[in-house]
Structure 1
Amino acid sequence: MLLAVAMAVVAVAVAVAMAIPALRHRLFRSALRRAGRRYRRRLEALDSDVRLRQERRLRRLLGTGTGTDTGTGTAGGWEEFQERHPLGQPCRDEAPGVPVAPLRPWALLPGCWDTDPRLQGSLLYLDALGAAFPRALARRGTALLHWSPGCRRAPAAWPLPSLYCAPAAAAALPSRAAALRVQLLFALRQRALHVLEAGLAAELHDALLTLRAEWPRLAQELELGRLSPQPGLPEGVRDQLQALLTPAVARAAQLRAECARGFEGIALRLWPRLEVVVVRTMYGAERLYCDSLLQAECQGLPFYCPFYQAAGALLGVNLWPAEPVPRFVLCPDWAFCEFLPCLASKEPRTVLLDELWEGREYGLVVTAQPGEYRCCTGEVLKVTGFHKQCPVVEPVRRESQTLSVRGESIPEEQFCQSLCRTLTVWPGARLVDYICVESSLLGDSSGPCAPHYEVFMELQGLRDLSEGQRYKLDQCLQEDFPIYKSFRFKGSIGPLRLHLVRPRTFPRLREALGSPVPMPRVLREEQLLQLIQGAVIS
């Protein structure tokens, strides 16, 4: 009798201990969502406050407090700010590597998070995601696939770390390939996932490439509950991660069975409760990877891009998770933004957040960090409407990724369209990845010919191309860009050269970039050029 009572007491104690983390998760999730709804209501209540909020943000960045002077945010007025800080200062692609401290409950008080864009953005994200996909905020229901050496960028839901099924240490490994592989293994252990989250679409793409290539070994690790030694995984960290693993024999059998059937729709077959894929960047260069995933591994799943970031700053949020095309509300409290009208005169005047016109395109100028003023980001945005008084925008192109050897200026997205049109006449070919190089970077290795483009591609379905097939891309470019055609006719631009590279070259290139940034489509670094040239097979 006493033994039965003792066992019952132990069982109750174990149940309470197990329930405490789940209860803590539910309580904190509820508090975060309430804070997110409160900030969203405040954002939607803006009327003529948009200009005022921008002025306040600029004053904070300039270190002049939150006074009530009637200029445009500085003591001497907007004109003085323009004169003191001319356009064109260098612009960082990434925010500094500042670790995110654990969130304390009192940080949710409005006065504590009013000036923290990262917290405001995450609160809006959690509220929007939870409203569109009610089960998406389940405890340990999100798999994070993101490499963040030095804590460069926190996960989208960093205030609620109990969402994630993998330990934070996995993302901070020195090797990108090792980090994504370890995170994938922890994700495979959880059948009841609701969300796949990646910092970049390329990271999810590369993690699922690892699944294609290494699923027998991954299944064995699941079955044994053992993490194999691998390059880029320090022994001490491996031991820490190993302590969190236990044998999962049934899950290993499921993985073997599903992978043996092929990889189309593999995400929903491995994780049948998945609701959404969250990627923090899916426009521009990352669109190629999204399209590839939607056609193969992630068939049937919606993609949600929650944030718009530029110059290392958070600028906007996507409040519509269920819509296929991402659009972002620019939040006036997060950075001071100016806009250069794309069809303006040679010396255009920047306009401010409350002066934008629907349907027009603008170059983005940002003041987001103290000491870094009026940075030209190279991003072009299109205003698609307004959410209350805040502009709603779609990213159009990255001007830094424009091909030009004679001033012909071919934007990356239009070059990609010409490339995809070329693929339709290469039977059986599927584009995996590509990058372009202007011949000026090649130096003497480009030969004595006129300036030209060189394109490095990875294809599936074709192992080689004839000279006629290679010339087809140059022909498509001439048809799509009359200026390029005229330069080719004059001989001032030479014929495009096309190279095929071996499989898995581009994941190695992304690791060599050294930080999780969107894939460049125009290569401008000699060290990376040597890497891609060393992978040419045809």
Structure 2
Amino acid sequence: MLLLWLLLLLPLLAMLWQQRPSWLILLQHQVAWRALAWVAAWQQRKLEQSTLRVGQSQLQALMWCLKRAQSPCCLPRGITDMSTFRNRLPLTKTSQVQEEESEEQLPPSASAQFHGEASLQATVLGLVTLNKAYPEVFSPGSTACVTPTSPWPSSVPWLGHALGRVSPIGAKDTRTLLLEALMSPGLRALEARTAVELLDVFVGLEAVGKELTEAVAAGNLGTPLPSRAAQLQEAMEQGPRGVMALNLWPEQPQGSYLLLPGVPFIELLPIKEGTQEEAASTLLLTDVQREEEYELVLTDHASLTRCRLGDVVQVVGAYNQCPVVRFTRRLGQTLSVRGEVTYENIFSAALAQAVGQWPGAKLLDYACVESSILDSCDGSAPHYEVFMELKGLRNLSEENRDKLDHCLQEVSPHYKSLRLRGSVGPVKVHLVGPGSFRVLREALAACPSSSSPPEMPRVLRLSHLAQLLQKRMIS
């Protein structure tokens, strides 16, 4: 009988919870933050201990991965120290790992890459750090989840409700979640599972912003809110602002990240300046030098592979004994049509400089192609082609298009010398229509060997992907 009464009372309790007074919401929010602060203090102490004893912490992380390997049959016997580990397990690249996982039908390593405790530490310390730098982001009703999958780890599922997230967690489409979020006048931050998904949300918001504000004004999800629609329209005209990445120093203009000595096990492969040659051996966190560049190498317990990620970091500081790094570029995202090497960060700097000289233009996304991929030389010298999506400009004069080539010559002496000799032709600039890079990401996700979410390349190596953008050219 008692169970029957409880079942009858559940709808009433749910209604009362939805209509709880503002003072109860504030109380719940304060209690959640006090609990979060306690957990954060505990995790901060653990962080201090692990970063002060980096060598011991890294050895413990390696032993944890070896003991919990999901493929023990492939595990070489007798690995008890770092030297044996390096000798018995060769370095592999991300593409090789993805191919092996596809053939063996193993779960992707990225899904099991982070141990639950490390995920909890990163989440809690990240939230507290972000709250110190931008306290308005975590006021009640200021944050909204805009992708169907919650980014919160399973170990702290209550935080989304307790901290006053606008959008409820559920299997809704992204557009509905975004529309619900935009209806809240206290909105300060949008939250997604991955940075790529969040980028798609912002790009889509700029592309269909007018449609969404009209839906808010018309009350497609409830009460018409014409004043809120006007606020949204004004904000969209100013363009997007805010934090797009999370680290322990979010107030700094350039993102800096602390490399932790836990799981996954991290090694750093030195980058030889001006060459694509591989270094002889990897280094541990305590062995790196400030201002030097390294490629990240990760080992996790899912596939037990020493995987070269292709991400290049520069050491910019230290936190206790652990390096603080800044991501600079990705190996493999380089342009070369005459043996030169134009890195991703060099081309991006030139492009940003050129866009700054185009009145009213704002760069949303871009991708590069070597002319041989599209067979577009037509008897001319090999060259770079760039497809870009702009806001505020739908056409470019030839004079403005040439500015990108001039900017690239300024930042790359080697490229300039090839241009002066005529060995390389000028960069060709193409504008593509709204949503083109969302379509490109969908095409990347459909590839069998693609990671999840797919990594967005700056240099396209496959002709069908380049042709996809070529078909969406508007200028």
Aligned residue among 231, 240, 256 for 1:258: 231
Unaligned runs of 5+ in 2: 1-11, 70-76, 99-106, 446-451
Structure 1's 388 and 500: CA in aligned 2 closer, same or farther, altered over 3 A? Answer: same
Structure 1's 255 and 194: CA in aligned 2 closer, same or farther, altered over 3 A? Answer: closer
**Counterpart residue number, 1:287:** none
Aligned residue among 454, 462, 471 for 1:534: 471
Counterpart check, 1:161 vs 2:134: no
Structure 1's 85 and 448: CA in aligned 2 closer, same or farther, altered over 3 A? Answer: farther
Report the secondary structure of 1:116's partner residue.
helix
Per-residue CA deviations over 1:54-86 (Å, capped at 9, x if unaligned) read 111111212279xxxxxxx96353232222222
Counterpart check, 1:365 vs 2:297: yes
Per-residue CA deviations over 1:165-207 (Å, capped at 9, x if unaligned) read 2233356x4xxxxx2x222111023223343324325234224
**Counterpart residue number, 1:305:** 245
**Counterpart residue number, 1:205:** 202
In the aligned structure 1, how far is the partner of 2:203 from the partner of 2:171? 16
Report the secondary structure of 1:502's partner residue.
coil
**Counterpart residue number, 1:123:** 124
Report the secondary structure of 1:378's partner residue.
strand
Structure 1's 61 and 446: CA in aligned 2 closer, same or farther, altered over 3 A? Answer: farther
**Counterpart residue number, 2:425:** 494
In the aligned structure 1, how far is the partner of 2:154 from the partner of 2:328? 23
**Counterpart residue number, 2:7:** none
Report the secondary structure of 1:383's partner residue.
strand
**Counterpart residue number, 2:268:** 339
| Contact 1:89–1:376 (CA under 8 A) maintained in structure 2 | yes
| Contact 1:166–1:183 (CA under 8 A) maintained in structure 2 | yes
Per-residue CA deviations over 1:144-185 (Å, capped at 9, x if unaligned) read 23475xx8x6579963231432233356x4xxxxx2x22211
| Contact 1:208–1:297 (CA under 8 A) maintained in structure 2 | no
> What is the TM-score when the length of structure 2 is the normalising length?
0.77
**Counterpart residue number, 1:418:** 350
What amino acid maps onto 1:40 in structure 2? Q
In the aligned structure 2, how far is the partner of 1:333 from the partner of 1:445? 48
Counterpart check, 1:248 vs 2:223: yes
Structure 1's 424 and 396: CA in aligned 2 closer, same or farther, altered over 3 A? Answer: closer
Aligned residue among 87, 90, 103 for 1:86: 90
| Contact 1:358–1:385 (CA under 8 A) maintained in structure 2 | yes
Q: How far off its partner does 1:532 sit?
A: 0.6
Structure 1's 74 and 352: CA in aligned 2 closer, same or farther, altered over 3 A? Answer: farther
Report the secondary structure of 1:167's partner residue.
coil
- Tell me how large the CA RMSD over aligned residues is: 3.8
| Contact 1:142–1:195 (CA under 8 A) maintained in structure 2 | yes
Counterpart check, 1:184 vs 2:181: no
**Counterpart residue number, 1:271:** none
**Counterpart residue number, 2:72:** none
In the aligned structure 2, how far is the partner of 1:462 from the partner of 1:194? 28
In the aligned structure 1, how far is the partner of 2:17 from the partner of 2:82? 60
What amino acid maps onto 1:395 in structure 2? F
Per-residue CA deviations over 1:290-338 (Å, capped at 9, x if unaligned) read xxxxxx233xx5x2622xxxxxxxxxxx223433332222111122111
Per-residue CA deviations over 1:2-21 (Å, capped at 9, x if unaligned) read xxxxxxxxx99976785599
Aligned residue among 341, 348, 370 for 2:280: 348
Residue range with higher mean Cα deviation, 510-519 or 11-20: 11-20
| Contact 2:93–2:309 (CA under 8 A) maintained in structure 1 | no
Report the secondary structure of 1:41's partner residue.
helix
In the aligned structure 2, how far is the partner of 1:433 from the partner of 1:466? 20
**Counterpart residue number, 2:103:** none
Report the secondary structure of 1:401's partner residue.
coil
| Contact 1:61–1:369 (CA under 8 A) maintained in structure 2 | yes
**Counterpart residue number, 1:471:** 402
In the aligned structure 1, how far is the partner of 2:349 from the partner of 2:13? 62
**Counterpart residue number, 1:513:** 444
| Contact 2:362–2:390 (CA under 8 A) maintained in structure 1 | yes
What amino acid maps onto 2:256 in structure 1? R
**Counterpart residue number, 2:339:** 407
Per-residue CA deviations over 1:437-486 (Å, capped at 9, x if unaligned) read 122322x4554544321111233454433444433323332333222233
Structure 1's 146 and 397: CA in aligned 2 closer, same or farther, altered over 3 A? Answer: farther
| Contact 1:304–1:326 (CA under 8 A) maintained in structure 2 | no
Structure 1's 466 and 324: CA in aligned 2 closer, same or farther, altered over 3 A? Answer: closer
Structure 1's 413 and 17: CA in aligned 2 closer, same or farther, altered over 3 A? Answer: closer
Aligned residue among 249, 252, 255 for 1:320: 249
Report the secondary structure of 1:433's partner residue.
strand
Aligned residue among 419, 441, 461 for 1:524: 461
What amino acid maps onto 1:305 in structure 2? A
Q: How far off its partner does 1:436 sit?
A: 0.6
**Counterpart residue number, 2:102:** none
| Contact 2:293–2:313 (CA under 8 A) maintained in structure 1 | yes
What amino acid maps onto 2:427 in structure 1? L
In the aligned structure 1, how far is the partner of 2:188 from the partner of 2:155? 14
Per-residue CA deviations over 1:464-514 (Å, capped at 9, x if unaligned) read 334444333233323332222333344443333222222332333334333
In the aligned structure 1, how far is the partner of 2:291 from the partner of 2:211? 47
Report the secondary structure of 1:485's partner residue.
helix
Report the secondary structure of 1:523's partner residue.
coil
* Equivalent residue pairs, number: 431
Report the secondary structure of 2:94's partner residue.
coil
Share of identical aligned residues, percent? 37
Q: How far off its partner does 1:49 sit?
A: 2.1
In the aligned structure 2, how far is the partner of 1:28 from the partner of 1:60? 32
| Contact 1:263–1:297 (CA under 8 A) maintained in structure 2 | yes
> What is the TM-score when the length of structure 1 is the normalising length?
0.69
What amino acid maps onto 2:223 in structure 1? A
| Contact 1:453–1:496 (CA under 8 A) maintained in structure 2 | yes
**Counterpart residue number, 1:196:** 190
Report the secondary structure of 1:193's partner residue.
coil
Counterpart check, 1:217 vs 2:214: yes
Structure 1's 24 and 386: CA in aligned 2 closer, same or farther, altered over 3 A? Answer: same
Q: How far off its partner does 1:43 sit?
A: 1.0
Matches within 5 A, 1:251-290: 252-259=225-232, 261=234, 263-265=236-238
| Contact 1:439–1:451 (CA under 8 A) maintained in structure 2 | yes
